[in-house]
Amino acid sequence: MTNKKANIHCDITIVGAGLVGLAAAVALQQEGYAVTLVDAQHPINSSEELDANSQDVTQNWDQRIYAISPRNALWLTSLGAWPLLDSTRICKMQGMEIWDDAAQEPLSLSADDANAEYLGFIVEEKALKQALSQRAEALRVGTYFASPCANLNISGHQTILHLANNQVIESELLLAADGANSWVRQQMDIAVQEKPYHQTAIVANFVVEKSHANIARQWFTQDATGESYIMAWLPLPDKKVSIVWSVSTQYAETLLNLTDAEFTEQVMAAGSHRLGEFKLLDSPTAFPLILKKSDVFTQDCVVLIGDAAHRIHPMAGQGVNLGFRDVMDLLEILKTKSPYQSVHDNSLLKRYTRIRKADMLNMLMLTDGLYYLFENHHHTLKKIRQWGFLMAKSKIAKKTLVANAIAL
């Protein structure tokens, strides 16, 4: 006979304690809502927990690195999370070089082009997750970790979430922040559009010989099999870089079977040895690249946020920024509700859908459009790319590109 537990009642339930789910929990609790955060796993493993006198999650560098936009860094500051990060493990990105095999010189963008201080900040996932977890604990966010979701019902104007440990959580609104293979989305029978890129992203961290000068570098070119690939070198503090190498799945298998020395040589060659000798810090890891887009962002009392709503190509480094903007826009909309409106009011959720779909479509035009522009080797498209690079080098174009990047 199982013990019956008292039902939990709250304003908003959030399923998924990744970066977007944690940020949503902190932001909504800070705004005065009673929030319950649920995840099948604890967001921070015990071996990764911070020492009371140290801000380092681990002595090793996390392989999951994010480029956080200045706008989102300010928002994370307002949540109290950003000041908890160790500033010595954050790289302030001041410029970007973009190389195309059809152009002889890179497109160079600098924060100075828009009279800005930085283009963005390179941050480790573990560190940011730890900071957000600390804020959630300080704000007394209700949490239920290490117990998977078992069933979800929508009854009247509330969601009823059953966990595997027999706990039941009732709320007016449920946010699905449980990733690209969202369990909540599947329970709601929400369809997803999928498009595989037939590419694999390989990530690894290196110590480099020459200073990267806080500049991110990206190459659009071809691999040994003639397929298009995208190589990104993201700057880390103290002459370190994190690479994201998006290659055909077939070529990825070849690269991952190389010795560490052979793989390192391939990485240096892909970037024309611009930072001198590389030393691999950890074994490379890989994940498949696929575009996923939910047909709807809201249904009944459920809102999809982060990868549960959209998963895009990592070339622009905007995946987590897009998820943070989901939360920011939802908060702004909820601030406009009258005292008589519920948090799942249909008019509010319709506004959320309109705003978020517009932002997502703009980002898809950027990432998907760039992918197919550089993926196609037709002579005419190469000429168009070359012309585009030339036009983008004008002072006005650079200022516009940088201003738009900072505003994301």
128-132, 168-172, 196-200, 317-321: segment of lowest average pLDDT: 317-321
One domain for residues 330 and 301: yes
Domain-located, residue 64: no
Q: What is the pLDDT of residues 355-385, one digit of tens each?
A: 998 877 776 655 544 544 455 554 544 554 4
> Is the pLDDT at 168 greater than 90, yes or no?
yes
pLDDT, greater one: 22 or 102: 22
One domain for residues 279 and 210: yes
Domain-located, residue 395: yes
Average pLDDT over residues 285-313: 90
Q: Are 365 and 322 in contact (CB under 8 A)?
A: no
Q: How many domains does the chain have?
A: 2
One domain for residues 249 and 268: yes
Of all residues in the chain, the percent with pLDDT exceeding 70 is: 80
231-235, 283-287, 396-400: segment of lowest average pLDDT: 396-400
Under the banding of pLDDT at 50, 70 and 90, the label for residue 51 is: very low
pLDDT score for 3: 59
Please name every residue paired with 217 in a beta bridge, in sequence order, or none if there are none. Answer: 97, 233
pLDDT, greater one: 164 or 319: 164
One domain for residues 356 and 248: no
Average pLDDT over residues 106-135: 86
| Position 277, amino acid | E
Q: What is the pLDDT of residues 31-50, one digit of tens each?
A: 999 999 999 998 876 334 44
Q: What is the CATH number of the domain that holds 385?
A: 3.30.9.10
Domain-located, residue 267: yes
- Domain residues for the domain of 363 are 8-46+129-193+294-369
Rounded CA separation 313/123 (Å): 19
> Is the pLDDT at 391 greater than 50, yes or no?
no
Under the banding of pLDDT at 50, 70 and 90, the label for residue 273 is: very high
Q: DSSP 3-state helix, strand, coil percentages of the chain (rounded to 5)?
A: 35, 30, 30
Rounded CA separation 273/209 (Å): 10
Task: State the average pLDDT for the chain.
Answer: 84
> Is the pLDDT at 91 greater than 60, yes or no?
yes
Domain-located, residue 58: no
The β-bridge relationship of strands 120-124 and 91-93 is: antiparallel
> Is the pLDDT at 55 greater than 50, yes or no?
no
One domain for residues 262 and 173: no
Rounded CA separation 188/300 (Å): 9
Domain-located, residue 317: yes
> Is the pLDDT at 231 greater than 80, yes or no?
yes
Average pLDDT over residues 344-359: 91
User: Most confidently modeled of 276-290, 376-390, 393-407?
Assistant: 276-290
One domain for residues 346 and 363: yes
One domain for residues 336 and 248: no
User: DSSP E strands: which ranges in 44-164?
Assistant: 65-68, 91-93, 95-100, 107-110, 120-124, 142-145, 149-155, 158-163
> Is the pLDDT at 169 greater than 80, yes or no?
yes
Average pLDDT over residues 22-34: 97
Under the banding of pLDDT at 50, 70 and 90, the label for residue 399 is: very low
Domain-located, residue 51: no
Under the banding of pLDDT at 50, 70 and 90, the label for residue 264 is: very high
One domain for residues 302 and 362: yes
> Is the pLDDT at 272 greater than 80, yes or no?
yes
Q: Is 336 exposed, middle or buried (0-12, 13-18, 19+ CB in 10 A)?
A: exposed
Domain-located, residue 79: no
Average pLDDT over residues 309-319: 70
One domain for residues 212 and 346: no
> Is the pLDDT at 121 greater than 50, yes or no?
yes
pLDDT score for 397: 42
Domain-located, residue 56: no
The radius of gyration of the chain from alpha carbons, rounded to an integer in Å, stands at 22
One domain for residues 118 and 95: yes
pLDDT score for 19: 96
Dihedral sign, Cα of residue 287, residue 288, residue 293, residue 299:
negative
> Is the pLDDT at 172 greater than 90, yes or no?
yes
Q: What is the CATH number of the domain that holds 24?
A: 3.50.50.60
Average pLDDT over residues 326-347: 94
One domain for residues 179 and 216: no
Of all residues in the chain, the percent with pLDDT exceeding 90 is: 59
pLDDT score for 107: 77
pLDDT, greater one: 223 or 349: 349
pLDDT score for 396: 47
Rounded CA separation 315/176 (Å): 25
DSSP 250: H
φ, ψ of residue 216 to 5 degrees: the values are: -85, 140
pLDDT score for 108: 78
Rounded CA separation 110/118 (Å): 8
One domain for residues 136 and 271: no
